[in-house]
Structure 1
Amino acid sequence: MNRVVVGKTYRFTVITDYLLRIEEDDTGKFEDRPTQTVLNRDFDEPEVGVLRNSNGHEVEIDTKGFHLYYDGGNFSAESLYIDIKKAYSVYQNRWYFGEDNDDHQQNLLGTVRTLDHANGAIPLDKGIMSRDGYSYLDDSKSFIYQQESDSFKARDNLVTDGYLFCYGRNYQKTLTDFYQLTGPTPLLPRFALGNWWSRYYQYTQAGYQSLMRKFDKKKVPINVSVLDMDWHKVDIPQKFGSGWTGYSWNTELFPEHQKLLQWLHDDGKKVTVNVHPAAGIRAFEDVYPAVAKDLELNVEKNEPATFELDNKKFRQAYFNDVHHKLEDEGIDFWWLDWQQGLAKNAKKMDPLWLLNYYHFTDNDRRTNGNGLILSRYAGPGSHRYPLGFSGDSVISWKSLDFQPYFTATAANIGYTWWSHDIGGHMHGDFDGELATRWLQFGVFSPINRLHSSNNTFSGKEPWNYRSDFENTQEEFMRLRTKLVPYIDTANYKTHTEGIPLVKPLYYDYPEKAEAYAMKNEYFFGSEMLISPITSPHDDKTQMAYSKTWLPSGDWVDYFSHLRYRGDTVIKTYRDSNTIPVFVRLGSLIVTNPDYMNDLENLPTNIQVEVFAGRDGSYEMVEHLGDKIAKTLFTWNELEESLKWIVNDPDNIIPKYRQISLKTHHDNRRAVDKEFNNRLQRAYISFDLKQQLSDAFNDEKYKYASFMNLINTLENNDLRSSLSEVAYIRHSYNS
């Protein structure tokens, strides 16, 4: 097969017209088994031309995407170089072996292991997307997966094993083929897409139930209950070491824990608990006798079962004697809070990778395909074991401001399911505005997991804040669960098509400078454009804003239903009760109005929000396990009618489902009326009213002129009217 070119110490494998594997091994033994990162290298039939010993080159390989030149000898920048046919480099389109660490490449970056203790932006590792049009993924240090023993093995010797992506700026195709190379992202269970409640706090059984009852009474849905480390014994005899690792319920706090777990399940919630597994299984644990028997430990000397997940015998006891028994009591999946660093030497595998792999595959098997963990990122390929826990975030505006960019950019290495500590975990100040803005971002992020430390002032219960913040937070939490049908559709597209739920703008607009400049703006699913507000309000307008680029076309504010003309950059000012979310004219958003119901079951009622103005269509995808149902909705603007076609081969949709329509039209007239009402309420003098009216009607009107009017109002001691005027100014502007 001419797509594989082999020499004594080298091998080139053309995987697609735009994807090349490059190997060098002095022993001449090349690796065909899967690695921890790469699973599949044979999925296309590229058109390949090969020349040997021609024009002074030992090998030339030519495809639609690249032309390789190899002059013999050890790989180096002098002996191996490749011309990229879809390159965008300023000076040249040639990649030289070893140049992937050069600073001149315009790599769009990927993600990192954790945001622990980060207060704002931190450097990110490289991804596979580059504005240059090409990038290199080094797989040389990946461990080899041994299927027969379900284990990982270090490579026998130092090799070169890497993949050159040459897709130009077709970022989505790059990601799609990356997933085919490394394996797809699993389909997440629906319950994970709702609201999570988490706090590092010594809850009692009664106190936790009381908290959940209060959420229920307020009709604020909590779909996943997270118990941090105090669920287990922490105060242990000193001879056993630290209390961070534990698997025995703290009966002082949870005297009847199985009843609590059953109560939470009956209340429509899934349960996960935090574990720090580094200390292994010690003699004080309830399960120690079973573990000691299986591992033949010296019980008289309290010999511990040392944490060795690469040891098959330990692994069997770890799961069968410890985790499975706790799962049988009602724990649905595990929060793996590994903080003990990397492997001690190159022959030992990263413990975090082993934890993620074995825990996810075990949970997936026991839940019939609904596998889930919560853990840190362990490198390329980690997307196969969702979800990602981004670590203990600092409570600050800087932290919030970094998270939208961080979340979207992670798609560049295929890691699309990040879960952040929404609201922040530690340090910082009590700030209702920050908590509200963070939650608003959380609702439009992959996983909305509210979290905090045990500090008295850091609890994220909405009622901890003043009434306007409380009401807004509760409404946004309801909105999150209402949007689960929409989010689950994106979940399916991530799994089957490799399209991220949270996607950078440049995936759709690779040639637009604004798509790269607006780092915090992103697409959320196929219909929504999000521009989260990540800074506090200003003193003049009493509102906060984000800088938003609207691509060409007609856009509608999801909340106010105001229409905006695209191909523009604007400052989108908003009160604390809303954020800039836009949909295109003609968009359909499917929601679940019965948001308090159990997310394990498909909703009986579906509401379709139509942003009228032109024809539109949307295919909703629903799933229970691996059973899929699809409903295609179409909106006819002329007839003002909604129709749908259902494809449900496994009969998973409720038999008596009701579908309702909610139509949103351009709200210009309502704004005109509201503008006049606000002017009247503001008690502005006649002259200032006239100036404001003229300003709003002047197409050449500039923001600076508006600020002059604001200053005039200030000088006339009319500061109370400023927020009214500013609100209508920025709402009215399209």
Structure 2
Amino acid sequence: MKRLLSLAIMAIGLAEAQAQDVKVEFITPSIVHVVKGQPTKTLVITAKPEQVKVVKKGNITSSSELTVKQDAKGNLTFLTAKGKVLLREKNCDVKEARQTFTLDKDEAIYGLGTIQNGKMNRRGEKKRMEQSNLEDFQNVLQSIKGWGIYWENYSPTLFEDNANGMTFDAEVGDGVDYYFMYGKSADGVIAQMRYLSGDVPMFPLWTYGFWQSKERYKSARETESIVDQYRALNVPLDGIIQDWQYWGSNYLWNAMDFLAEDFSNGKQMIQNVHKKNAHFMISIWASFGPMTQQFRELDEKGLLMPFETWPQSGISHVWPPIMKYPSGVKVYDAFHPEARAIYWKYLKTLYDYGCDAWWMDSTDPDFFNPKESDYEHKVYGGTWRSQRNAFPLETVRGIYQAQRKDDKGKRIFIMTRSSYAGQQHYGSNMWSGDVNSSWDMLRKQVPAGLSYSLTGNPNFNTDIGGFFCGSYNTKGSGSAPKNPQFQELFVRWMQYGLFCPVFRSHGADAPREIWQFGKKGEPIYDAIEKQIRLRYRLIPYLYSTAWQVTSNNDSYMRPLFSDFAADKNVWNTTDEFMFGHSILAAPIVNPQYTEEKIIRTDAMTGWNRQDVKGENAQGVDWSATKTATKYLPKGTTWYDFWTGKQYKGGQNVTLETTIDRVPMFVRAGSILPLGPEMQYVGEKKWDNLEMRVYPGANGSFVLYEDEGDNYNYEKGAYATITFQWNDSKKVLTIGDRQGNYPGMLKTRTFTIVMPNGQQKQVEYSGSKTEIRL
């Protein structure tokens, strides 16, 4: 048995426990850093240890919040200050970078990343955690008991929970390195992870509108025409996305300039989009073709990686790929600061053209036919294997930090396919990859997004309708939007996407613009338009929630146990979630009008067009009323958003449903702001917001406003108005406006609306006002 050394304690400052090479350091009274062997050179942690007062009694070290006890074998036990056991270490192999923990028998654990298996609880899970197109990992796990772990290791890691315990087993490492966080709740753990790795900057206000995309618009004329048609139809739109190959051939892959003949004046295209009151996002990658300037400069400096990546063939217009003409495309070493600087030097061309946002594709990155030599390739800070999972963090951070230095008054908005811990601090929103178009995959997106949010990263979205819809093209290429099976799936996916921070339609195999599904007055078209219009009405609520995400460590998408942990019925709920603190989103994730079509593909088989064609459903009566059963968490009263009907929590309720209506509820005590319908964010002022008040409990809401698209809010240029509802007195108090910013509304009207239809208009000039209802 190894000889144990006594605990060495500092009365004020950090506390360290050494048993051979075990080190325990209090970062805060409720966060402990544990290192056995050599610590990881961090790419994630930005917090510095606080001056924490600790007390030592024998082998026990305590702060005001947390106690760490070491047994004779060197294993640690984490306890509350009152002595309640939170988590125990069981076995450790320092040389193998492996640590096992013991959990309670029925203890639920959550997080890790976007695992696409439809589950919330990670008990019984076995998963090799390596970034990929469809699954991404942040190494952050939390328990229903209110503790969390961040496993500080960037190599692929096997996570396994079984009868022997819960284990993290890294492929590379000179020791075990992790952070134990006692947040007391899901929100508390998220707040501590952000304390360690960075807060969440505000996205521009316009990013919360509707985004249209597809794989891909093939000319500048086509891209502009999409915006034109949305405007002509009076359907709201705020963003258009230009996907790949605007640069020309695959040998010019990711040249970061408009080199294709059909994009001969890309700068003018962007200006034209802006004149139409829309914003422009463009696809960029973590790899470069051999004829690009970036490739040549990076290659000269040894900053390219040797492995095979997308695209594999240099011939871009032929499918399947002609492999005898390899593309030569290589991924850059995003870990190297010089490589990141070169990346931004060329990306600045598009920035100067006026691009508003970046679509960073393949930030996993794509890594085909991996060889051992690829994994052992030297990168900045280690080997490809040792740094592998942190690649998305480094490439996104490189852009964020460079653009902040070259600020043109635009907040940074990056949509990326992959993410690692800490990435929330660098202006990024992750989407769930090239998912297929199926009900099974739609169902999986809900827990995948919630699991991602539980790692501290709040910004998540999916390709609405699924990326690969080719199996629905039963009447020729691109016919899926006319297929009732796909129409129903698409509408229900829209109704889920309504409650994601980014609301974006995208996919391959068929276009997804609203007019592809019919015309105004037809049920599917009208259902899609209804969701878009509702999204715009919700933007004041959503933007105010964004401020709480930034200032108060909140989340947009909240698993039900975040707010109702005492209700065990919600611990494993995968088809409902809270959208902010007020709205219970209960999207329909099973077909009601057509038969479910089982489609199973992964990203590669999807790209290889191996979908199986199905039958086209005929004769669907979209006007028929259906039913759905949803569970309402106990501990509060709930209101149907659409009807105002009250329900007591703690029960299943059966609802009448229609194709154009998503089930959603509002908890008692909520104050919900609804904005005007508009064609784009900023078209209309928020000078007459509808404030819905839901009685049955006391409640409050902070309405947040700022300039919408710069970082002046960081200097205090914003305003808040606090609304408080006193349920016993039936009084709504609108508080004094706090703060100001250029262009702020000085006077306005609030229309107060109760579930029973009662309304009252209130003129407001910034001073405290009370309204009796």
TM-score band, normalised by shorter chain? 0.7 to 0.9
Query: Would you say 1:464 and 2:520 are equivalent positions?
Result: no
Structure 1 pair 42–83 and aligned structure 2 pair: CA distance change class (3 A): closer
SS at match of 1:265: helix
Native 8 Å contact 1:548 1:572 kept in 2: no
Q: After superposition, where does 1:458-537 map in structure 2 within 5 Å? A: 458-465=511-518, 467-537=522-592
Query: Would you say 1:308 and 2:324 are equivalent positions?
Result: no
Native 8 Å contact 1:134 1:165 kept in 2: yes
After superposition, give the CA deviation of every residue in 1:90-123 in whole Å (9 maximum; x if it has no partner).
x9964435324989684533243686xx899996
Match of 1:79 among 70, 74, 78: 74
Partners of 2:49 and 2:650 in 1: how far apart?
42
The equivalent of 1:96 in structure 2 is 90
Q: CA deviation at 1:581?
A: 0.9
Structure 1 pair 316–131 and aligned structure 2 pair: CA distance change class (3 A): closer
Partners of 1:102 and 1:586 in 2: how far apart?
36
Query: Would you say 1:340 and 2:372 are equivalent positions?
Result: no
Partners of 1:10 and 1:94 in 2: how far apart?
15
Native 8 Å contact 1:36 1:142 kept in 2: no
Q: Which amino acid aligns with 2:383?
A: K
Partners of 1:295 and 1:10 in 2: how far apart?
38
Q: CA deviation at 1:250?
A: 4.5
Q: CA deviation at 1:244?
A: 4.6
Comparing 406-415 with 654-663, greater Cα deviation is found at 654-663
Comparing 622-631 with 491-500, greater Cα deviation is found at 622-631
Q: After superposition, where does 1:68-467 map in structure 2 within 5 Å? A: 68-70=68-70, 78-85=73-80, 94-97=88-91, 98-100=99-101, 106-112=107-113, 127-141=140-154, 158-167=174-183, 170-234=185-249, 240=251, 244-278=253-287, 280=288, 282-283=290-291, 307-320=332-345, 322-338=346-362, 339-341=365-367, 344-345=375-376, 346-348=382-384, 349-350=387-388, 351-367=391-407, 368=409, 370-385=411-426, 386-427=428-469, 428-429=471-472, 430=483, 431-453=486-508, 455-456=509-510, 458-465=511-518, 467=522
The equivalent of 1:23 in structure 2 is 35
Native 8 Å contact 2:567 2:634 kept in 1: no
Partners of 2:636 and 2:432 in 1: how far apart?
35
Q: CA deviation at 1:233?
A: 1.0
Native 8 Å contact 1:231 1:273 kept in 2: no
Q: After superposition, where does 1:661-700 map in structure 2 within 5 Å? A: 661-666=751-756
Partners of 2:226 and 2:653 in 1: how far apart?
41
Q: Which amino acid aligns with 1:109?
A: Y
Q: CA deviation at 1:195?
A: 1.1
Q: After superposition, where does 1:698-709 map in structure 2 within 5 Å? A: none
Native 8 Å contact 1:397 1:434 kept in 2: yes
Q: CA deviation at 1:273?
A: 0.9
Q: After superposition, where does 1:557-636 map in structure 2 within 5 Å? A: 557-599=640-682, 603-611=686-694, 616-624=699-707, 625=711, 626=713, 627-634=717-724
Q: Number of paired residues?
A: 622
Native 8 Å contact 2:29 2:64 kept in 1: yes
Partners of 1:296 and 1:579 in 2: how far apart?
49
SS at match of 1:394: coil
Structure 1 pair 271–646 and aligned structure 2 pair: CA distance change class (3 A): farther
SS at match of 1:478: helix
Structure having the higher Rg:
1
The equivalent of 1:694 in structure 2 is none
Native 8 Å contact 2:63 2:81 kept in 1: no
Q: Which amino acid aligns with 1:362?
A: A
Partners of 2:187 and 2:728 in 1: how far apart?
34
Q: CA deviation at 1:269?
A: 1.9
Structure 1 pair 548–218 and aligned structure 2 pair: CA distance change class (3 A): farther
Structure 1 pair 612–24 and aligned structure 2 pair: CA distance change class (3 A): closer
Comparing 374-383 with 384-393, greater Cα deviation is found at 374-383
Structure 1 pair 308–142 and aligned structure 2 pair: CA distance change class (3 A): closer
Native 8 Å contact 2:669 2:699 kept in 1: yes
Q: Which amino acid aligns with 1:595?
A: M
Partners of 1:68 and 1:296 in 2: how far apart?
44
Partners of 1:504 and 1:296 in 2: how far apart?
41
Aligned-residue identity in percent:
17
Native 8 Å contact 1:295 1:313 kept in 2: no
SS at match of 2:749: strand
Partners of 2:104 and 2:590 in 1: how far apart?
31
Q: CA deviation at 1:67?
A: 4.0
Query: Would you say 1:36 and 2:43 are equivalent positions?
Result: yes
Structure 1 pair 327–657 and aligned structure 2 pair: CA distance change class (3 A): farther
Structure 1 pair 120–80 and aligned structure 2 pair: CA distance change class (3 A): closer
Q: CA deviation at 1:64?
A: 5.4
The root-mean-square deviation of aligned C-alpha atoms, in Å, is 4.0
Structure 1 pair 424–646 and aligned structure 2 pair: CA distance change class (3 A): farther
Q: CA deviation at 1:294?
A: 11
Partners of 2:113 and 2:582 in 1: how far apart?
28
Partners of 1:609 and 1:210 in 2: how far apart?
38
Native 8 Å contact 1:546 1:571 kept in 2: yes
Partners of 2:728 and 2:234 in 1: how far apart?
38
The equivalent of 1:688 in structure 2 is none
Comparing 636-645 with 473-482, greater Cα deviation is found at 636-645
After superposition, give the CA deviation of every residue in 1:167-187 in whole Å (9 maximum; x if it has no partner).
45x222222122112211222
SS at match of 1:661: strand
Structure 1 pair 253–120 and aligned structure 2 pair: CA distance change class (3 A): farther
Q: CA deviation at 1:412?
A: 1.9
Comparing 369-378 with 554-563, greater Cα deviation is found at 369-378
Partners of 1:444 and 1:156 in 2: how far apart?
38
Partners of 2:542 and 2:671 in 1: how far apart?
13
Native 8 Å contact 2:26 2:33 kept in 1: yes
Q: CA deviation at 1:410?
A: 1.8
Native 8 Å contact 1:100 1:136 kept in 2: no
Partners of 1:71 and 1:268 in 2: how far apart?
64
Q: Which has the larger share of strand?
A: 2
Structure 1 pair 611–44 and aligned structure 2 pair: CA distance change class (3 A): farther
Partners of 2:118 and 2:179 in 1: how far apart?
34
Native 8 Å contact 1:630 1:647 kept in 2: yes
Partners of 1:187 and 1:528 in 2: how far apart?
21
Native 8 Å contact 1:491 1:501 kept in 2: yes
Partners of 1:209 and 1:484 in 2: how far apart?
25
SS at match of 2:589: coil
After superposition, give the CA deviation of every residue in 1:598-648 in whole Å (9 maximum; x if it has no partner).
449964543323346776542111233322210123457799876533535
Native 8 Å contact 1:503 1:522 kept in 2: yes
Native 8 Å contact 1:197 1:449 kept in 2: yes
Structure 1 pair 6–659 and aligned structure 2 pair: CA distance change class (3 A): same
Q: Which amino acid aligns with 2:46?
A: L
Comparing 266-275 with 496-505, greater Cα deviation is found at 266-275
Q: Which amino acid aligns with 1:82?
A: T
Q: Which has the larger share of helix?
A: 1
Per the normalisation by structure 2, the TM-score is 0.72
Partners of 1:232 and 1:574 in 2: how far apart?
46
Per the normalisation by structure 1, the TM-score is 0.75
Comparing 432-441 with 10-19, greater Cα deviation is found at 10-19
The equivalent of 1:720 in structure 2 is none
Structure 1 pair 581–189 and aligned structure 2 pair: CA distance change class (3 A): same
Partners of 1:180 and 1:585 in 2: how far apart?
31
Partners of 2:437 and 2:118 in 1: how far apart?
8
SS at match of 1:232: coil
Q: Which amino acid aligns with 1:264?
A: V
Partners of 1:510 and 1:119 in 2: how far apart?
20
Q: Which amino acid aligns with 1:474?
A: E
Q: Which amino acid aligns with 2:23?
A: R
After superposition, give the CA deviation of every residue in 1:586-609 in whole Å (9 maximum; x if it has no partner).
432112215224449964543323
Native 8 Å contact 1:233 1:247 kept in 2: no
Structure 1 pair 552–69 and aligned structure 2 pair: CA distance change class (3 A): closer
Structure 1 pair 606–277 and aligned structure 2 pair: CA distance change class (3 A): same
Q: CA deviation at 1:531?
A: 1.0
Native 8 Å contact 1:84 1:134 kept in 2: no
